[in-house]
Amino acid sequence: MKNRKLLMIPGPIEFEPSVLRILGAPTTSHVAANFIKSFGHCIKMMRDVWISPKGQPFIVAGSGTLAMDMAACNLVEPGDKVLVISTGYFGDRYATILERYGAEVTVLEAPFGKTICTETIDKTLEDGDFKILTFTHVDTSTGILVAPKAIGALGKKHRVLTILDGVCSVAGEEILQDAWNIDVVLTASQKAIGVPPGLALLMVSEKAMQVFKTRKTPVLNYYGDFANWLPIMKAYENETPSYFGTPPVNLIMALEESLKLIVAEGMEQRFARHQQIASAFREAMQCIGLTIFPNSNDIAANTLTAVYYPKNISAGDFLGAVKESDIILAGGLLASHKTEYFRVGHMGIVNQSDIIATIAGIEKALKKCGHSFNLGDGLSKALAILSEQG
């Protein structure tokens, strides 16, 4: 009997068996030849996944919040002006992190379900002397998708550094870091990268590294200081041992396996697969009378979907009923709307069978909770879309 549930939350996600097997393998030395080679291979493959041949990768033990922290502490000096585009919980969190390092932060906060238009960002940058612009590509709390290409162009126009929080987007949403002039793209291992939690991953542009190297004040974070990690990254890429802090050996070797699988799939194919599955899921939800958190499909993420509960259905009853089908979903994250919506992750190795099973579990739970709709309509819609798109 299968004794596990299908994990359909916005991270941690389902992982490839080959990735999980590496985590259970005997741990080697962090200066062993096979590990050094593995680490160096990860660094090189990150450039392929980020589509950033000129970028400087960083692989550090920690969470996505650490990746956000590292980008902030290394590029911000006290008094620097930073513009934060916030489309949910994690945009607001970034403002708090930046303020910790002495930044003067201006937040452009999107209304619920919407994004900030590029004209507003352009005008704000024009009127202010900003050094850095940050934005969340996909906010895990809302499922809102922001267009990074346009923001990268604004960063170039106004000569500001751009930081993309890609915790819930890298390896799932299209990102061409170098071509789009994004200076830092950061993420964490447990989402579309496809490795259990524990790695903070960053790609830093040549321009951003130069800004870091010419800063006038010390970095106010010892563990996150690029100066401590850059020699390590350079050494491992050149397949020579080095040490600052002991790396999570098995996690990095698992990262190598996952990056191999991602590169083998191809980035264009991977982006298209995420778009296909997301479209099928969103339209299935809308077909059975549910409303997604983004106010249009054009700004809905392809890595997760936030969906409002029908009226008169409680979060606890619904999520419990879905769990009876051996499927785990996430509740709301925004404090102001926490009991009004749920979230479904569909990134990484999630396939058509997974999304069909999830839709079936949701329909069954909704029917049990008293929502009025034609059972099977969502499934039929999803199957039609998946069939049309291959």
DSSP string for 134-180: EEESB-TTT-BB--HHHHHHHHHHHT-EEEEE-TTTTTTS---TTTT
Sequence spans of domains, the chain: 17-265, 266-388
Judge whether 115 and 87 are in contact, CB under 8 Å.
Answer: yes
Give the pLDDT confidence score for residue 252 in this predicted structure.
98
Give the pLDDT confidence score for residue 186 in this predicted structure.
98
Give the pLDDT confidence score for residue 2 in this predicted structure.
57
Give the pLDDT confidence score for residue 31 in this predicted structure.
94
DSSP single-letter state for residue 83: E
* Positions in the chain whose pLDDT score sits under 50: 1
Q: Decide if 17-265 and 266-388 have a common fold.
A: no
Instruction: Report CA-CA distances (Å) from 119 to 124, 125, 126, 179, 248.
Output: 9, 10, 10, 21, 44
Give the pLDDT confidence score for residue 4 in this predicted structure.
81
Give the pLDDT confidence score for residue 1 in this predicted structure.
35
51 CB-contact burial (10 Å; exposed 0-12 / middle 13-18 / buried 19+): middle
Could you check whether the bond before residue 12 is cis, i.e. omega within 30 degrees of 0? yes
pLDDT in tens, 18-39: 999 999 999 999 999 999 999 9
Give the pLDDT confidence score for residue 238 in this predicted structure.
97
* 17-265 CATH: 3.40.640.10
* 266-388 CATH: 3.90.1150.10
Number of Cβ within 10 Å of residue 321's Cβ equals: 18
